[in-house]
A and B are shown apart, each in its own frame.
Chain A
Amino acid sequence: MSLLTESEARAILQKTLSFSKADECQVSLTGVRAGNLRFARNTVSTSGGSDTLSLAVTASLGRKSGAATINEFDDASLERAVHAAEELARLSPENPEFMPQVGPQTYLEPKAYFDATANLTQEDRVRWAAASIGHCKERKLTAAGYLSDSARFSALANSKGLFGYQRRTDLDFSITTRTDDGTGSGYAVADYNDASRLDAGGVTAIAARKALQSREARAIEPGKYTVILEPSAGVTLVNLMLGAMNARLTDEGRSFLSKPGGASRLGEKIVDERVNLWTDPLNAELPGNKWGQDGRAQRRTDWIQGGVVKNVGYTRFWAKKKGLDENAAPSPGFGRSIMGGTDTSLDDLVKSVKRGVLVTRLWYIRAVDPQTLLYTGLTRDGTFFVENGEIKFPVKNFRFNESPVIMLNNLEALGRPQRVENSLIPPMVLRDFTFSSLSDAV
């Protein structure tokens, strides 16, 4: 019911706009059908589903705006929602940061919708979970995992002639396997738009191997180590840095990109010249969305190129205030980030390291100091000591205190990017990564 076609969505949006008497009216419609299955202790724990459709109306009168959302779609309900938004707008104070709605946009066409995902059933989820649990039971391991999938559409229209429609499907699978004696733990994760690419047994096999290899971990002294961060370990720190590249905060003097005297580091080299970070809705491995939160068309944006800050994210208001063309200024949406790498495999990266620590996953990452982007967190689910290019033995987990800016200045090598947590991130070899204490956690 919730996944409307483009013509069905357009009909509802146009009908809604026809009720508006405001200076500007924008309507968006979103439908999501989602399901999930969670398992632990080698058995299912909870699972459920949802099927929702909702419509949001924003009406503007001069510099005053109001908004309303509903999930009923008869003509009377649509008209009521428009009138509610208009009444709120009429009675609202003027907004000093008001921006007129965007006009017609030329949207790119990412291919993010796959029937194989949209047509999933509970039986499919149970089958994947059974494959994962079966693999673990055979090896006397305990599986805990989570599978979630969704199919969604969104459509957008306004009184200035804007119209957009997009569909996407997403599938996320993660698995933690633990040895029965609790001394080993392994983790693996995969996400796709096309569910036919999921090999739940294969992903589980990676986690199972790590669990078995990580038994009887040895304690080594905390301190500065060369690390090999697998993509599942590096992804969060990279995305936190990208998320902090905000124009307004920088200009207000409260960002890691702010400089004394009110200047910014835009245009300066802040990390190793091999670091390139961008977003691109047309990336085939990581298809994005046609538009961001404000309706502007999403385009490829280079955030860091050759180690230099090329762009920071602007809201339309802040771009205008700073005298920039709002359509040329990059939007602040930083999801689905891409970090460039090389063709080197993870195994070959490990071979290149004389003495270091291989990290599968970083966990409970929290900001310590926004001024330096210092974060703390811990390694988890597979941490190994590497010597002369070989994994020698598992080591106890560490707490780290590190800034992604410092970390990416200490770059030794990059490997082949891999999709993880809706980003494309390479494995990284980094020197002098700061482990500040040991953890007994497995």
Chain B
Amino acid sequence: MNRRFFIRRAGAAGSLLLLPAWTAAAERLAAGEPIALARKKRLADAALNAAVKRGATYADVRIGRYLSQSISTRETKVDGVTNDESRGAGVRVIADGAWGFMATDRLTEDSIARAAAEAVAIAKANARLQDEPVVLAPQAGVGETAWCTPIRINPFAVPLQEKVEHLLAANRAALGAGASFINTQLYQINEQKYFASTDGSYIDQDIHRLWPTFTVTATDPKTGRFDTRNALSSPMGRGYEYLGADPAGKRPGVTVRYFESYDLAEDAVLAAQQAREKLAAKRVVAGQYDLVLDPTHLGLTIHESVGHATELDRVLGYEANYAGTSFATLDKWKSKEFRYGSPIVNFFADRTEAGTLGAVGYDDEGVPAKRWPLVKNGILVDYQKTRDQAHIVGQRAGDGCSFAQSWNAVQFQRMPNVSLQPGAEPLTPADMIKGVERGIYIVGRGSYSIDQQRYNFQFGGQLFYEIKNGEIVGMLRDVAYQSNTQEFWNSCAAICDRRDYMHFGSFFDGKGQPSQVSAVSHGSATARFNKVNVLNTGRKI
């Protein structure tokens, strides 16, 4: 069953007095009930029994209730509020050595058993194309268990009126500080998902994610120029408390950076001022610079050049037709000496860090969450794997990297959090900048592009500050840097210590055909990269 209630372009300037009525109605109409645990177990058993009866050698079922709410505003009005509730079940089986999958939105024992039977029939049809049977790494059943994101305030329990006013207040603040336009969004996700498999697992999880974000635009009618500055928030696996503007959760610096807590209105004001500053900023001179990259920026570089490159399904060619393959091939891993980065570079994969988008108790094939190294002292040591890939690299377990965006999509290998370990020596961003003779300090995510094997990339950012002889001397514009993954990470000369470690997030990471989105965090501290090629992206048309 899918239900959606929404208000489109329904805002009104200054009509705050009207908000309580319509927001209350929207909430009441959107409110559904969780699926009872006993019912989920009954349905799961119906699916698993039907699959086995039809000849499946393995089966799992995911029964889900997925809630999402997005609030969108521009300037002084609400652009739209959308509440989605989607519930149903997806059954995945192995029969005749091949995978099959079928989903149903009818949560009855008959319907789910029928879906299981259809999944077996599809598997058997697919087996005709298959030379070798699927080899599934063993996973001991964990019995009946539960896990939930450790949040303090459930965003879905916060009155819509309060959330709308939170966004509109930020908009007012930005307009008052010189923004020409501001578009603000708040995305909230709650996955109530129940996994069961023929291994003997019955896992009930309640997972939360949210992302407050905006784009501020400053225009200059005289010159016809415009520029933007996006929010420096991160999407998080946290509750509404992330928006609490707790002073302890932010760090002062060249610009304010938000770690465990976000101040939307403060960031919107800064964005309005900085968008104006960008309009008047000096154009960068192309050439080689030492780059000092803030975690709000570096997270995306990690995501593209390390996160996707170490996905084993890409390495093996499963994504060749769309997202591509990877330069981090099996021979490089087997050599145990492929230098991915300089010796201070350590990347770890993780599904356990609190507050992150990738944190779960178990993945979508019943594997417990864990943390493991991908790059150790600069050397490639491992990949991200699902259960059916583990045997290819001589391992006997999945990594907990299986994910499907909803009950109606088949699960496949998705990125866990992939993070850069902070430096061992005490070092702050301010100290790091002091050591740079000719460089650029980059904050925030901007334009990004990387090739299909993850060698050549180009990244922009939100804020670019010129560093001369250890000092920030002003803002630059038209900046993008280009490099090659291995060259770039080997040019990593310093990483700030744990005090500067924070999480960047990607809320809508696309992969697969048909495309599915997932959400993932990347932790890092500010890092320095020597002699990177910077281009000037200014053009005239």
Contact = CB atoms under 8 A, between A and B. Distances in A.
Given A40-B317, A126-B128, A93 B456 contact: no
A175 B513 CA distance: 12
Nearest to B76: A96
Contact of B25 (A54, A87, A176, A370): A87
A98 B9 CA distance: 8
B22 A84 contact: no
Interface in A250-291: 252-254, 256, 258-262, 270
A401 B286 CA distance: 14
A372 B4 contact: no
B541 A47 contact: no
A36 interface: yes
B541 A376 contact: no
Given A49-B102, A144-B321, A254-B219, 6 more contacts: A50-B103, A70-B2, A93-B10, A93-B19, A94-B12, A441-B453
Given A92-B7, A399-B458, A440-B455, A47 B318 contact: no
B11 A95 contact: yes
Given A95-B11, A126-B125, A41 B317 contact: yes
15 contacts: A40-B317, A43-B129, A48-B122, A67-B6, A67-B8, A68-B4, A69-B2, A133-B129, A146-B322, A363-B324, A374-B537, A380-B452, A399-B482, A437-B533, A439-B456
A138 interface: no
B453 A440 contact: yes
Contact of A146 (B15, B77, B513): B513
Contacts of A142: 317, 320
B10, B317, B460: most-surrounded residue (chain A CB, <10 A): B10
A418 B409 CA distance: 33
A50 B7 CA distance: 28
Contact of A175 (B25, B321, B535, B541): B321
A46 B129 CA distance: 12
B36 interface: no
B22 A88 contact: yes
Contacts of A252: 180-181, 219
A39 B26 CA distance: 43
Given A40-B320, A258-B224, A374-B539, A130 B514 contact: no
A96 B478 contact: no
Nearest to A125: B125
Interface in B159-210: 180-181
Contacts of A175: 321
Interface string A38-76: 111111111111101010001000001111111110000
Given A47-B101, A84-B5, A88-B25, A95 B12 contact: yes
Contacts of B452: 363-364, 378, 380, 441
B412 interface: yes
A262 B408 CA distance: 48
A66 B128 CA distance: 50
Interface in B14-30: 15, 18-19, 21-22, 24-26, 29
A168 interface: no
A252 B318 CA distance: 44
A439 B455 contact: yes
Interface string B76-96: 011000000000000000000
Nearest to B540: A372
Contact of B319 (A40, A42, A122, A374): A40
A91 B21 contact: yes
A178 B320 contact: yes
Given A69-B2, A399-B482, A44 B130 contact: yes
A259 B19 CA distance: 38
Contacts of A40: 317-321
B160 to A, nearest CB: 12
A148 interface: yes
A46 B451 contact: no
Contact of B541 (A43, A49, A406, A438): A406
- Interface residues of A, dominant DSSP: strand
Nearest to A133: B129
A372 to B, nearest CB: 4
Interface in B79-125: 98-103, 105, 122, 125
Size bin of chain A's contact surface: 35 or more
A377 interface: yes
B26 A368 contact: no
A189 B324 CA distance: 16
Interface stretch (B258-266, B360-368, B442-450): B442-450
A365 B451 CA distance: 10
Contact of A253 (B5, B15, B21, B226): B226
A217 to B, nearest CB: 13
A261 B122 CA distance: 62
B125 A368 contact: no
A45 B478 CA distance: 43
Given A69-B3, A258-B226, A364-B449, A399 B456 contact: yes
A36 to B, nearest CB: 6
A92 B221 contact: no
B324 to A, nearest CB: 7
A3 interface: no
Nearest to A46: B410
A97 B449 CA distance: 37
B154 interface: no
B7 A67 contact: yes
B163 to A, nearest CB: 15
Given A46-B101, A68-B29, A406-B539, A438 B318 contact: no
B306 interface: no
Contacts of B541: 256, 270, 372-373, 403, 405-406
Contacts of B77: 96
Interface string B241-253: 0000000000000
Contacts of A261: 221-222, 224
A44 B513 contact: no
B13 interface: yes
B513 A36 contact: yes
A122 B125 contact: yes
B297 to A, nearest CB: 15
B19, B130, B514: most-surrounded residue (chain A CB, <10 A): B514
B126 A47 contact: yes
A345 to B, nearest CB: 27
B1 A43 contact: no
Contact of A437 (B103, B128, B325, B456): B456
Given A67-B8, A88-B29, A96-B77, A45 B455 contact: no
Contacts of B320: 40, 142, 144, 176, 178, 185
A37, A45, A54: most-surrounded residue (chain B CB, <10 A): A45
A367 interface: yes
